[in-house]
Amino acid sequence: MKKVLVLEDESSIRSFIVINLRRAGYEVIEAETGEEALEKLEHHRDTRVALLDVMLPGIDGFEVCRRIRAGNANIGIIMLTARAQEMDKVTGLMTGADDYVTKPFSPAELTARVDALMRRSGGGSEANDGEIRQDPFLLNTRNRTLEKNGQRVKLTQVEYAIIKMFMENPGKALSREEILDMVWGRDYFGELKIVDVNIRRLRLKIEDNPTNPTYITTVWGYGYKWGF
Ligand code: CA
């Protein structure tokens, strides 16, 4: 069963989300506070996607995200934000979320986002098992891991998908739309901005000097290129 955690303090919104996810075939774990969410995740370690409301009575959704991410790189995390200002904070803090949804959202939109993350965190069918080596990087597509100079780089599932896409397309300029399609899927409803947020975070992890990136280079007005 595919498990999703829903953290939302407002019970009407929570039920709305839970009902729709169950209808879509997910097993749903509910939490009303951040503390409860962290505790429940301890007991349900096979949870593959977490939906985290930002504004909560105790620790906020960003803090929950940070704590989840500290111990688990594989879980997909979607932030539920009430306002655009909160998204600025998501961008600014880059707490490790893979995606965000702004309230109010439709059931179809939410389910599509969860489906997309679920597909990536599934681990399932990799077409070409093995390794892609582009010094100083080594991508292992069986274990879904990345090493730089022999050192493991901890990646989220989305970051892994982005790196894999780049390493399979070295030297090719990829538009932000293409990246969104390849990484998030064609049925994805999100905004292009999420591409930039994830690439910025990825640069912090893999570039020698993130302010002057040499591996993931920007193609102005278009997108990005794996600069080999
Ligand atoms: Ca709330």
* Count of Cβ atoms closer than 10 Å to residue 151 Cβ: 8
Residues 136-144 have a mean pLDDT of 89
Under a CB-based contact definition with an 8 Å cutoff, are residues 207 and 214 in contact? yes
Residue 228 has pLDDT above 70, yes or no: no
Ligand 1 centroid to residue 57 C-alpha, Å: 8
Ligand 1 centroid to residue 102 C-alpha, Å: 12
Residue 53 has pLDDT above 80, yes or no: yes
CATH tag, 3-123: 3.40.50.2300
Which of 36-40, 45-49, 164-168, 224-228 is modeled with the greatest confidence? 36-40
Lowest mean pLDDT among 19-28, 65-74, 164-173, 181-190: 181-190
Ligand 1 centroid to residue 67 C-alpha, Å: 18
Ligand 1 centroid to residue 92 C-alpha, Å: 20
Ligand 1 centroid to residue 144 C-alpha, Å: 34
Higher pLDDT, 168 or 129: 168
Distance separating the N- and C-terminal Cα atoms of the chain: 41
Residues 193-212 have a mean pLDDT of 94
pLDDT for 77-114, tens place per residue?
Answer: 998 988 766 666 655 456 788 888 888 888 888 998 89
Partners of 49 in the β-ladder: 4, 76
Ligand 1 centroid to residue 54 C-alpha, Å: 6
What pLDDT is stored for residue 123 in this prediction?
A: 45
Phi, psi (rounded to 5 degrees) for 160: -60, -45
CA distance 216 to 228: 9
What pLDDT is stored for residue 128 in this prediction?
A: 45
CA distance 38 to 7: 10
Lowest mean pLDDT among 124-138, 154-168, 187-201: 124-138
CA distance 136 to 152: 12
Residue by residue, DSSP assigns 155-172 as --HHHHHHHHHHHHSTT-
Ligand 1 centroid to residue 206 C-alpha, Å: 34
What pLDDT is stored for residue 115 in this prediction?
A: 87
Domain boundaries, given as residue ranges, for the chain:
3-123, 131-226
CATH tag, 131-226: 1.10.10.10
